[in-house]
Amino acid sequence: MKIDRDYTLATLARLVQINSINPTLAPGAPGEAEIAAFIAGSLRACGLTAEILEPVPGRTSVLGRLAGTGGGRSLMLNAHCDTVDVPGMAEPFSGAIREGKLYGRGSYDMKGSLAACMAAAKALKDSGAALRGDLLVAAVADEEYGSLGTSDMITNVRVDGAIVTEPTALEVCLAHKGYLWIEVEVTGRAAHGSKFQFGIDANMKMGQFLARLSELERDLRARPAHPLVGPPSLHAAMLNGGSGLSTYAASCTLQIERRTVPGETGEQATAEIQAIVDALAAVDPDFHATVRTFFVRDPFEVPADARVVQAVDRAIAKVRGVAPAHIGDTPWMDAALLQAAGVETVVCGAGGAGAHADVEWVDVESVVQLAEILAEAALDYCG
Ligand SMILES: [Zn+2]
């Protein structure tokens, strides 16, 4: 499958040059409207149809479609088009290439892969190959915060398989971790700082909880590791207690992040925290605390023999001449949402470094190779 290299590199440079910082992470940032207009225009010029989806004003995704002849499996190539903020970056929007690396915010996470998705669709259109199933290019908004784009898309679009193209250096990622945000609020009793007989110190009580939580934290990491993503973990991310120096603290609040592995549920992870609270309350009548899980993202895992995995494996072997490694990764991705919606999903993307860091770059050759891999995988999967 012949990839249009000039189109791929010009598209990648333009994508990086358009500021698409997520405005929920950086208030006042432009969001995805401008980059979505560019993507939709570029896909249409390549001969695809392109639909703009905007579940929230300014939070724009694009769904490009190369219609199949009918009767085949449909495949979504998924890439997010938002980025994190750019403070500290010397050249956030340059798109300059030096020694095979293209620099700028989002080049690696993940406009390189987005350019490859677009170039793969163009290659299939240019080749005149007749796919039976539809090929979809989903350039989604807001992956870096709340995944508005993919969440909205899976309610509106029926698709059989998906390749989420978060960067994997052209290896094949079959699993990632999930996470929960859990709030524990310990309540004490406010009193004048001199009146120890009346006060119950919520911060001291939280100390008891934290000691137990740290035992749980060690226990989690000692559990049998998931073969691809390792053991579960947690950290005491944010702590806030007390209202003044001469007042017994009436309340202390802790926000915990718990990272889950495939096979664990949010209910189990919450129950482990609740068990600590219950054990402390059983021996101390002055220990009062509530546990509230306020955000859950499930882990992701796909079997190695899933059709979409096999299609990507075969495409990589054909393009690169070597079988890919099957890997896992720790950060959460949109893959979990697609898989949970009944879409068989795998993760495979470009190579590079510097996601969310001051210097970010993508390996240009890996972008061109990824485009060819995605086109071959679509031929295989969509029939
Ligand atoms: Zn990403």
Q: CA-CA distance, 375 to 143, in Å (whole number)?
A: 24
297 CA to centre of ligand 1 in angstroms: 15
285 CA to centre of ligand 1 in angstroms: 47
**Cβ pair 247, 201 in contact under 8 A:** no
The interaxial angle of helices 307-320 and 364-382, nearest 10 deg, is: 130
144 CA to centre of ligand 1 in angstroms: 7
Length of the chain: 383
336 CA to centre of ligand 1 in angstroms: 13
Three-state SS annotation for the chain: CCCCHHHHHHHHHHHHHCCCECCCCCCCCCCCHHHHHHHHHHHHHCCCEEEEEEEECCEEEEEEEECCCCCCCCEEEEEECCECCCCCCCCCCCCCEECCEEECCCHHHHHHHHHHHHHHHHHHHHHCCCCCCCEEEEEECCCCCCCHHHHHHHHHCCCCEEEECCCCCCCEEEEECEEEEEEEEEECECCECCCCCCCECHHHHHHHHHHHHHHHHHHHHHCCCECCCECCEEEEEEEEECCCCCECCCEEEEEEEEEECCCCCHHHHHHHHHHHHHHHHHHCCCCEEEEEEEEEECCEECCCCCHHHHHHHHHHHHHHCCCCCEEEECCCCCHHHHHHCCCEEEECCCCEECCCCCCCEEEHHHHHHHHHHHHHHHHHHHC
277 CA to centre of ligand 1 in angstroms: 36
320 CA to centre of ligand 1 in angstroms: 24
Provide the pLDDT for residue 63. 98
- Predicted TM-score of the model (pTM): 0.94
The interaxial angle of helices 364-382 and 112-127, nearest 10 deg, is: 50
**Cβ pair 294, 182 in contact under 8 A:** yes
Provide the pLDDT for residue 124. 98
3 CA to centre of ligand 1 in angstroms: 24
**Dihedral sign for Cα atoms in the order 344, 3, 69, 50:** positive
343 CA to centre of ligand 1 in angstroms: 19
191 CA to centre of ligand 1 in angstroms: 48
Provide the pLDDT for residue 156. 87
159 CA to centre of ligand 1 in angstroms: 21
253 CA to centre of ligand 1 in angstroms: 31
Q: What is the pLDDT of residues 242-296, one digit of tens each?
A: 999 999 999 999 999 999 999 999 999 999 999 999 999 999 999 999 999 999 9
15 CA to centre of ligand 1 in angstroms: 14
Give the distance, in angstroms, between the CA of residue 146 and the centroid of all CA atoms in the same chain: 9
Q: CA-CA distance, 325 to 99, in Å (whole number)?
A: 26
Residue 248 in tokens = 């017994």
- Mark the ranges of the chain whose per-residue pLDDT is less than 50: none
**Cβ pair 95, 13 in contact under 8 A:** yes
331 CA to centre of ligand 1 in angstroms: 9
Q: CA-CA distance, 107 to 354, in Å (whole number)?
A: 9
117 CA to centre of ligand 1 in angstroms: 14
Ion ligand 1 residues within 5 Å by Cβ? 109-110, 166
Q: CA-CA distance, 94 to 177, in Å (whole number)?
A: 33
81 CA to centre of ligand 1 in angstroms: 9
14 CA to centre of ligand 1 in angstroms: 18
Backbone conformation region of residue 169, classed left if phi is above 0, alpha if psi is from -120 to 50, else beta? left
Three-state SS annotation for 153-181: HHHHCCCCEEEECCCCCCCEEEEECEEEE
47 CA to centre of ligand 1 in angstroms: 27
106 CA to centre of ligand 1 in angstroms: 8
